[in-house]
Amino acid sequence: MKERKKLRDIHPSHVIFDTLNTIFMILLSIICIYPLWYIFIYSISDPLEAAKGLTLLPRSVTLTNFAMILRESKIFHALGVSFARTILGTAITVVCTSFMAYLFVQPKLPFRRFFNRLVIITMYFSSGLIPWYLTMYYYGFKNSFLLYVIPSAVNAYFMILIKAYLESLPASLQEAAEIDGAGIFTVFTKIILPLCKPILATITLFSAVNQWNTWSDNFYLVKDANLKTLQLTLYEYFQSNAPSIENMRDLASIMSQRTVTTTSIRMCIAVITIVPIFIVYPFVQKYFQKGIMIGAVKG
């Protein structure tokens, strides 16, 4: 009886709104998902069949396109550089940013409010491309792997999220540890970090995605082919209007092995670039929502 009464109390305008909202969200989901699905089905389809046009399903499914691309030393090496950059860069960012946030919640730190505001300012004001380039150049990061891990060691936005999470922890935990003789590093590593798993998992995901997708620093400051990432390699392959001689040679070496198209090559590289994020995300998803909600409420 109560359920029937509730159904009668629902206003028709609410039903219309819910219906339109559902339709809109479905269309939005299709718009977001279909490009990724199209790239995937194109990459696993026979190149000549895919060139005739695809809609929802692949044609003549084959994985030889991926096998051919991964046999290319340049692409395989770029994939290794991207993995190394993501793993090392993410680890350094999480450790340095979390320790900096931990320092900023210490009431004994002199001028901590001033330094906190100074860090936040960097979120709203950028130095610009030329000053950034000159700074990286004079620090010796040009054609250096350090370019991938040192400039991103501390992230202001990540620091705010971690700082908000730390402020939600009881101060008595640190006080009890200090009474027992624990130093600042002991408190940080033995007490604070284990309690920060939700927000650290969130920051790890954000940082890993940033490291994996970033290519602009590689584009401006790295000319050494041994340091090129997979993302820059993908960018170079997508510049079909003005391909470089090196890219044309790479494409020719791949296409000479089998009848393929440049579009199928691009789609395969795009899938290789996207897949690692889809693999990692489920492992940190359980921490993701909790970490974001705490950062949003406390921040």
Tell me: the pLDDT tens digits for 125-139?
877 888 888 988 898
pLDDT of residue 289: 63
pLDDT of residue 252: 47
Query: 38 and 121: one domain?
Result: no
Query: 81 and 22: one domain?
Result: no
Place of tokens 């620090």: 139
Place of tokens 């040679």: 249
Query: 148 and 15: one domain?
Result: no
pLDDT beyond 60 at 8:
no
pLDDT of residue 104: 87
- The chain-wide mean pLDDT, for the chain, equals 79
**Cα–Cα separations (whole angstroms), residue 278 to 61, 205, 272:** 21, 11, 11
CA 173 to chain centre: 33
Is there a domain that residue 101 lies in?
A: yes
pLDDT of residue 92: 94
pLDDT of residue 27: 94
Is there a domain that residue 147 lies in?
A: yes
pLDDT of residue 244: 45
Is there a domain that residue 150 lies in?
A: yes
Contact between 161 and 291 under an 8 Å Cβ cutoff? The reply is: yes
Tell me: the pLDDT tens digits for 97-124?
998 888 888 888 788 888 888 888 888 8
pLDDT of residue 170: 79
Helices 245-255 and 230-238, interaxial angle, to 10°?
A: 90
Query: 103 and 187: one domain?
Result: yes
Query: 23 and 98: one domain?
Result: no
Query: 230 and 148: one domain?
Result: yes
pLDDT beyond 80 at 149:
yes
Query: 163 and 28: one domain?
Result: no
CATH number, position 274: 1.10.3720.10
Place of tokens 């339709």: 23
Boundaries of domain holding 33: 2-43
Tell me: the pLDDT tens digits for 176-194?
877 777 777 888 888 888 8
Query: 254 Cβ partners below 8 Å, 6+ apart?
Result: 68, 69, 72, 260, 265
pLDDT of residue 299: 46
Phi/psi of residue 122, nearest 5 degrees: -65, -15
Tell me: the pLDDT tens digits for 60-94?
777 877 777 777 777 788 888 999 999 999 999 99
Is there a domain that residue 51 lies in?
A: no
Query: 109 and 204: one domain?
Result: yes
Query: 6 and 84: one domain?
Result: no
pTM: 0.74
3-state SS track over 202-262: HHHHHHHHHHHHCCHHHHHHCCCHHHCCHHHHHHHHHCCCCCCHHHHHHHHHHHCCCCCCH
pLDDT beyond 80 at 6:
no
CA 196, 201, 206, 210 torsion-angle sign: positive
Q: Rounded distance, CA 280 to CA 284, Å? A: 7
Is there a domain that residue 55 lies in?
A: no
Is there a domain that residue 185 lies in?
A: yes
Is there a domain that residue 52 lies in?
A: no
End-to-end CA separation in angstroms for the chain: 45
pLDDT of residue 3: 53
Query: 237 and 189: one domain?
Result: yes
Is there a domain that residue 48 lies in?
A: no
Burial of 193 (0-12, 13-18, 19+ CB in 10 A): middle
Q: How many domains does the chain have?
A: 2
Residue 288 DSSP label? H
**Cα–Cα separations (whole angstroms), residue 77 to 35, 80, 83, 117, 275:** 27, 5, 10, 41, 17
Query: 24 and 141: one domain?
Result: no
Query: 233 and 282: one domain?
Result: yes
Q: Rounded distance, CA 127 to CA 291, Å? A: 30
pLDDT of residue 296: 53
Tell me: the pLDDT tens digits for 227-271?
888 888 877 776 654 444 345 445 545 545 555 677 777 788 888
Query: Which among 162, 135, 163 has a CA at the least distance from the CA of 151?
Result: 135
Tell me: the pLDDT tens digits for 21-70?
999 999 999 998 888 888 888 888 887 777 777 778 887 777 877 777 77
For 97, the 3-state DSSP assignment is helix
